[in-house]
Structure 1
Amino acid sequence: MIECLRNLSTRVEILLLLYGFSYMFEGSITTNFLLYRTCYVTLGYNIDDCYLLGTKYANNRTKELETKVQTYTTYIIMSKSLIEAFIAPLFCFLLAAWSDKYGRRPLMLFGLTGLLMSYVVMTVVSSLPYISPWYFLLHEIPFCIFGSKISLLAACISYVADTVPEENRGIRLGFLEATSNIGMLIGTTSCSYIFTAFGYNTIYVICATCQFLAWMFTWFCIEESLNVDESERKWSSLIQLSPIKETMMMIFRRRENNNRTVLLCIFGVVVIFMGGKYSNSSVIFLYLREKFTWSLEDYTLFVAFSLLTWIILCVVCIKVLVNIMRIKETTTIIIALLLNTSGYLVQGFANATWQIYGAACLLSIGSCVAPLSHLLLSKLVPKEEIGRLYAAMVSFDSISLLLGSTLNTFIYNQTIAFIPQGFNFVTAIIYALSLTLAM
């Protein structure tokens, strides 16, 4: 069986499939968990009323609680984002610089170890019914120390850049994006049913199991993409701070043919785009519950639809526009960003559910932005720099996500009473800035 699995020795998509599944499987459930735990533990409301938050059985009493509980919970979510955005990237810089010399496979294992331990902590906290929701942030300790999702994403993208010829790299990066979203789709469509049947604890146990399986698959099946002598690996170099300075100098140093400007524009486009895309995740669920009175089941159905269109359009855009029609990568990115800006405007002005779904279709065109930008970057820099630059890009994405998430949380809290959709217009402005850089 092991020999059979070795035929998948370059299929890092499996790792992102399992990560994407876990990320969305617990994403909205965690928001619901924090609302529920905050309601009866921190704010002291009746546990039976708190249990109805976000369900189709909500009554007038729970609707009154919703705004009060949401306001407090957003501070926990914002604290979580703050920790992930500033601490995890520092460790990832060290790990990625080390991986450029000593291999991508250990970087994958580091990331998966952090994710596994993080979900174990979530499992323990969710098992203790009267512990403060702030203790949930303890899972950030292993998450940050091992770089976790930043290390995993940087390692997988670098692995594809190492192993796939340039002419096939674009569609492979597109499949990498699509595979991650397939996992997210499966996680989204199944989480509410598993949660209803088994509760919070089982959700986190399943996520931990997925990361354990990914770790085992990497250990036994993934082959190293770089020519590395394992006996020469210097583990002590992991704790040196010089790679952070070297990576920053690498980003800003002069390059031939004005490539430094191109590289900085690519960084700017991706960082702003990813920050805008994911910063909404902390408040979109709350917004849809507030304005359209959606339940968790309604929201998971919507996210499933969004992910499905995202997956399809990611592959279609790259295959048809870039590979078949030979449209330049930069032109495709500009088109996608223009439609994404329009999508957030539609979502902001929406007064009906079908308009929210229409906005999701426009936003899904943006699925090709990240893989095409990664493709452009892989053409621009030498192989020995690619790991650190991808890690820097993913790290800056996290910081951008924090800034966007903090801004959206602040705007949502200030406008929840009279214009809860205001954060959509802020995101549209952010995307317009990214569009300007792409041009």
Structure 2
Amino acid sequence: MEPGTSGWRRYIMVEPPIMMLLFAETMTGAVLTDLIVYQSCTVSLKLNETLCQLLHTNSSSQEAAAIEAKVQPYASIVLMYAFLLRTVLPSLLSLFLGPWSDKYGRKPLLVSGYMGFSLKFLILSILCNWTVNPWFMQVAFIPLAILGGSCNLMLASICYISDIVKENDRVWQLAWLNASLLFGIVLGTFTGPVIYKQYGYTAVFGTATLFCTLTLLYVLFYVPESIKNCPKSSLQSLFDFSLVKELISTCVKKRDGFNRYVAWCCILTLLLTIFAMEGDATIGFLFVREYFGWDISSYANYTGATVILSIVGTLFAVKLLANLLGISDAALAILSFMSLLGSAIVKSFAWQPWHMYLSGGIGLFGGVPGPILRAILSKSVPPQDVGKVFSLTTSLETLTPLGAVPLYTLIYKNYMPPVYYPCPAWLVSVALYSIAILLVMCIARRTARSNNTSYVQLISESE
């Protein structure tokens, strides 16, 4: 498909599938956590089933809080290993799949990714019918990891957009992709608890399986390949280590047109941002469940509200502040990190449920750093190397949660609220966002000296 696809068709290629995927993922996220907590209580720790039922029937009671204090440390370890299982292999594969898809096409990555999620939810919908050890739930993540996971789905989706959309339109198109993603999160957030309350675990995971299967069929039969005249591929061509060597050399070798200082400052700032966000997501439900006695529905209402605010804040910042008012990239990045910093501070010192909603309002611009930092990064890289830098960046972004999830889990496990106040886990995010602000200031200072580099989007044109 040639770059410059116009009209409404460009909005319905990869956006509807990613929206349905995030709908399924979000719909099952808190429900899966709840299932693992309950199975940890009844099977692993062998507590009385009647007591464990209090986690569902009276989660705000003192008895339930005492049970949570016993169960959550164990359940958090199970969740941590589930995350590691679905992250390690995809992060390594992304080093190969980015350059590979430039030659052999984006559609194979899309198909394999959605197939992996379909199998994951199918396995979960079967396993949840039995009272099994929560460690058996790890089986569902094996096909997802082998087939690429969410990391390579996002990589393929963004590259697909770069293939079919003109350079001048990519910023808005990527913003639309992000909005579609967040819209799926909102739908899943409010739908999951309703289905769970009415029909139970099987219905939730079964619904997710159905949506992911429909998404897979949509990609197979409607979404065309964006790379023209793709040669036939093989497993041997997938694992070509020369592609990885060239990619790394491109990102570290000093040369004309490559502002290595700015590029790596941008990459480091992106990694810090993802580290903090992944850590926050890991302990979010556990925190409000233990500290405020929230159930899945209460947490869904909070998550949905914060995501809606994030959609509004991101579109407002990109369309109005940046495009119409001409606020610089660095200034907008600093504003967004101050927003995230304030949100983390409020969470750490929260003692009333409404404080969590206040943190969501303060974090209005929390979705802005990613697009802005990628825009700055694109200005520091020669046009012919932009795609390679993006592949390495994506791989590092995927590896970053491998450190974030264990760290936040261990801090939360050993310093659980309400014994420790303020919550130390959120203070880690405060420190990371503070460092990110300093890095953006360094980027702004260096880019002010070198404005002669040409602007290109982070994703290069398909060769």
Query: Considering the TM-score relative to the shorter chain, is it more than 0.5?
Result: yes
CA distance 1:432–1:237, change in 2 (3 Å):
same
Note if contact 2:251-2:388 (Cα within 8 Å) is conserved in structure 1. no
Given residue 143 of structure 2, which amino acid in structure 1 is its aligned partner? P
CA distance in 1, matches of 2:396, 2:364: 22
TM-score by length of 1: 0.92
| Number of the residue aligned with 1:200 | 201
2:34 pairs with 1:29? no
CA distance in 1, matches of 2:218, 2:380: 32
| Number of the residue aligned with 1:348 | 348
CA distance in 1, matches of 2:379, 2:73: 45
| Number of the residue aligned with 1:150 | 151
| Number of the residue aligned with 1:372 | 372
Q: Higher mean Cα deviation, 168-177 or 310-319?
A: 168-177
CA distance in 1, matches of 2:179, 2:398: 20
Given residue 187 of structure 1, which amino acid in structure 2 is its aligned partner? G
Q: Using the TM superposition, give the Cα deviation of residue 387 of structure 1 relative to its aligned residue in structure 2, in angstroms.
A: 5.2
CA distance 1:151–1:226, change in 2 (3 Å):
same
Note if contact 1:100-1:385 (Cα within 8 Å) is conserved in structure 2. no
CA distance 1:54–1:263, change in 2 (3 Å):
farther
CA distance in 2, matches of 1:222, 1:387: 22
CA distance in 2, matches of 1:230, 1:258: 30
| Number of the residue aligned with 2:311 | 311
Q: Using the TM superposition, give the Cα deviation of residue 380 of structure 1 relative to its aligned residue in structure 2, in angstroms.
A: 5.2
| Number of the residue aligned with 1:257 | 257
Q: Using the TM superposition, give the Cα deviation of residue 415 of structure 1 relative to its aligned residue in structure 2, in angstroms.
A: 1.0
CA distance in 2, matches of 1:79, 1:248: 29
| Number of the residue aligned with 1:360 | 360
| Number of the residue aligned with 2:119 | 117
Given residue 249 of structure 1, which amino acid in structure 2 is its aligned partner? S
Note if contact 1:54-1:294 (Cα within 8 Å) is conserved in structure 2. no
CA distance in 1, matches of 2:239, 2:144: 17
| Number of the residue aligned with 1:411 | 411
CA distance in 2, matches of 1:57, 1:431: 33
* Identity score, percent: 25
| Number of the residue aligned with 1:3 | none
TM-score by length of 2: 0.87
Structure 2 residue ranges without an equivalent (≥5): 1-7, 442-463
CA distance 1:373–1:226, change in 2 (3 Å):
farther
Q: Using the TM superposition, give the Cα deviation of residue 388 of structure 1 relative to its aligned residue in structure 2, in angstroms.
A: 4.8
Q: Higher mean Cα deviation, 374-383 or 410-419?
A: 374-383
**What SS does the aligned partner of 1:364 have?**
coil
Note if contact 2:65-2:293 (Cα within 8 Å) is conserved in structure 1. no
CA distance in 2, matches of 1:399, 1:44: 35
Note if contact 1:93-1:388 (Cα within 8 Å) is conserved in structure 2. no
Structure with greater helix share of residues: 1
Structure 1 residue ranges without an equivalent (≥5): 1-5
| Number of the residue aligned with 2:448 | none
CA distance in 1, matches of 2:226, 2:377: 18
CA distance 1:365–1:200, change in 2 (3 Å):
same
Note if contact 2:85-2:142 (Cα within 8 Å) is conserved in structure 1. no
| Number of the residue aligned with 1:126 | 128
CA distance in 1, matches of 2:81, 2:118: 21
| Number of the residue aligned with 2:74 | 72
- Superposed CA offset, 1:79-104 (max 9, x none): 12222332221122222221011111
Given residue 409 of structure 2, which amino acid in structure 1 is its aligned partner? T
Q: Using the TM superposition, give the Cα deviation of residue 373 of structure 1 relative to its aligned residue in structure 2, in angstroms.
A: 2.8
Corresponding residue pairs, total: 433
Q: Using the TM superposition, give the Cα deviation of residue 385 of structure 1 relative to its aligned residue in structure 2, in angstroms.
A: 5.2
Q: Using the TM superposition, give the Cα deviation of residue 292 of structure 1 relative to its aligned residue in structure 2, in angstroms.
A: 1.6
CA distance in 2, matches of 1:350, 1:58: 17
2:91 pairs with 1:89? yes
CA distance in 2, matches of 1:86, 1:243: 20
CA distance in 1, matches of 2:255, 2:214: 42
Given residue 214 of structure 1, which amino acid in structure 2 is its aligned partner? T
| Number of the residue aligned with 1:438 | 440
Q: Using the TM superposition, give the Cα deviation of residue 391 of structure 1 relative to its aligned residue in structure 2, in angstroms.
A: 4.0
Note if contact 1:154-1:387 (Cα within 8 Å) is conserved in structure 2. no
Aligned positions of 1:273-422 closer than 5 A: 273-378=273-378, 381=381, 388-416=388-416, 418-419=419-420, 421-422=423-424
